[in-house]
Chain A
Amino acid sequence: MFAGYLVNTWEAATIVAVVAGVAGFFIVLRGAAFAAHALPNGAFAGAAGATLIGANTILGLGVFSLAGAALIAALGRRARQDVATALTIVVMLASGDLFLSRTSEYAPAIFALLFGEVLGISSGQVVPTAAIAAVCVAAVLVLYRPLLLSSVAPDLAEAQGIDTRFMDLAFLVVIALVTTMAVPVVGSLLIFSLLIGPPAAARAFTDRPPVALGLSVVLALLSVWVSIAASFETNLPIGFFVGATGAVWYLAGHVRTAWAGHARHPEPARARRAARTPRG
């Protein structure tokens, strides 16, 4: 499984995991899970469109995920964020459907784009993956403090002179870049598990933001490494293992939080019941 032809796989997957861990930390902190699902899922339409006109897949993914980010931000000014995101993903997928209907050659590649073809990464793919990854990590590091403050307390950030709308948009652009980079490697549906599972667990184990960020990266790395190995050994699709490890991390975090909460407030349920006014 460490054979020569798999070196690219390990490299690309490791890069994706690091970026997913970093970006995912803020996705979970900002409650942007829906956007983190919508952009990769909808951007697959871009890949379909690129194939249709004979352009580079990465270019198609990039254009579509950035357009999706802009649409979410634009619609989000006048509507709830979740409604804006739902409408965006629907519009993106519908255009994907249109592109697919124009081409007959595309169908076999759909599975790979949706669920990833991590075992078939070429060496030519590693360089663009690494380049976009570097941009993502740099963007998050540059914005780290205002992004952190506007994620945990938007009104405080506003009062401190931070343009929270700009932060929203900037972060959507980061998700779009992560999408562009990760979809060809792990697929548009499964990058999502990688983006939210590890950070969801990480925040339960530490109270310090930088430590949580680091832990999130570590767990994401574990996820992909375990998934590649398992996929190689069992010959089952890697997406299954990525989804499963994501759920395991989340569950671990949940158990840990419940345990800590139980230790702090032994009888929360009863107290709540007692506080409730009787039916009148």
Chain B
Amino acid sequence: MPSPSAAVTASLAPVFEPGFFSSGPVHVALAVGGIVAIVSAAVGVFTVIRGQSFAGHSLADIGTAGGSAAVWAGVSTIFGLVAFNVVAAGVMELIGIRRPRGRDLATGIVLGASLGLAALFLYEDTISSSTTGATVTVLFGSIFTLAPGTTTIVAVLGAVSIALLALLYRPLLLSSLSYDLAAARGIPVRLVGGGFLLALALAVSLSAVTIGAILSTALLIGPAAVAERLTRRPARAIAVAAAVGIGSVWIGTLIAYDSTVWLGGESLPVSFCIVGLVFVAYLASGLIARALPERRLERRPGARDALALPEVD
């Protein structure tokens, strides 16, 4: 059926600047971005429910240390990232503090120490190979400069992360809502929490190495926060978050691509475009949630005790 699609393409010509669909880097960007958005959405919903945004963001930054260490050791960046993040997640879990304040602090110390290592490795990288570019690449990533083979690695790592999440789904949900309740039912809460941190470490590794630390956190937390405002059911929240994530990545990529034409040679950074869309989606979700009266009740701070909603720790 060539005619309808041709008509669609023609009508959308002002939207999609020439070469968007034929560009190799764009194909890879859309594919990798899509996978990352889905994995981040699934893991992100639990990250937000569990209040572990800081850990999620930290792992992306810790990936910087892993990436710079890999450059220093001359091994593949993704290997360094995954190794560092899995170890960091293990250390966070070993310190294992239940209270959010203490947990954030433990996360922060692991992050601080890793950043110290990152400083060391980046310095060594700069001395040995005199490539200052490594710093920027590891910190900010670039979705347009991915090697085509990346798609496979990303898909495999993403699948492992999702599989782990699927395996842990129910005990994880219960222990996220109430640690004590889960412990009382005989769920090995720490093991489940550690398994989740592993899934988080994998998801963040693959997003940090492909799209950079900024986008990694944006796609992990933003869409999940949107979903949390719009729905209370975890499975539906994952679907909403995935939709928001994919939408932001694809539209953001398109805008960044098109901006080259609009701005006459210069372009907007793709991470800026995607983060902008995620943030707009988040603000819009607030307006939508406020328009739904019964949701407003649940979101009011302090309303929980007043209305005797179930306690969630």
Contact = CB atoms under 8 A, between A and B. Distances in A.
Interface of A: 28, 30-31, 33-34, 36-38, 41, 77-80, 82-83, 85-87, 89-91, 93-95, 97-98, 100-102, 107-108, 110-111, 114-115, 187, 189-190, 192-193, 196-197, 200, 236-244, 246-247, 250, 254, 276-280
A97 B215 CA distance: 11
Given A31-B104, A79-B225, A83-B221, A97 B278 contact: no
A98 B274 CA distance: 12
Given A34-B57, A83-B48, A83-B53, 18 more contacts: A31-B102, A31-B105, A33-B104, A33-B108, A37-B108, A77-B301, A79-B229, A86-B217, A97-B269, A100-B269, A101-B269, A110-B136, A190-B115, A190-B119, A192-B115, A237-B123, A239-B115, A240-B117
Interface string B239-279: 00000000000000000000000000011110110111011
Interface in B20-51: 48, 51
Contact of B269 (A41, A98, A190, A247): A98
Nearest to A165: B301
A88 B228 CA distance: 17
B111 A192 contact: yes
Contacts of B167: none
23 contacts: A31-B105, A33-B105, A34-B54, A34-B108, A37-B57, A82-B51, A87-B221, A89-B217, A94-B271, A94-B272, A94-B275, A97-B269, A98-B268, A98-B272, A111-B132, A189-B118, A190-B119, A237-B120, A238-B119, A240-B123, A243-B115, A243-B117, A279-B185
Nearest to B107: A33
Given A90-B278, A97-B214, A111-B122, A80 B48 contact: yes
Which of B117, B183, B214, B228 gathers the greatest number of chain A CB atoms within 10 Å? Answer: B214
A196 B109 contact: yes
A246 B271 contact: no
Interface string B44-66: 00001001111011100100000
Given A86-B221, A189-B115, A192-B111, A78 B271 contact: no
Looking at chain A's contact residues, the main secondary structure is: helix
A215 B272 CA distance: 42
A89 B218 CA distance: 9
B276 A94 contact: yes
A189 B53 CA distance: 18
A254 B185 CA distance: 30
Contacts of A115: 119, 122-123
A104 to B, nearest CB: 11
A97 B272 contact: yes
A82 to B, nearest CB: 4
Interface in B82-121: 95, 100-102, 104-120
B218 A94 contact: yes
A114 B218 CA distance: 20
B304 to A, nearest CB: 13
A117 B228 CA distance: 42
B113 A196 contact: no
A36 B107 CA distance: 12
B186 A107 contact: no
B126 interface: yes
B51 A80 contact: yes
- Nearest first, the 9 A-B pairs at minimum CB distance are A243-B116, A31-B101, A279-B186, A239-B119, A193-B112, A94-B275, A33-B108, A82-B53, A247-B113
A189 B61 CA distance: 10
A90 B217 CA distance: 7
B286 interface: yes
Contacts of A280: 185-186
Interface in B176-234: 183-186, 213-214, 217-218, 220-222, 225, 228-229
Given A85-B54, A190-B116, A90 B214 contact: yes
A31 B100 contact: yes
B282 interface: yes
Contact of A190 (B48, B58, B112, B272): B112
A86 B269 contact: no
Given A80-B51, A278-B186, A107 B109 contact: no
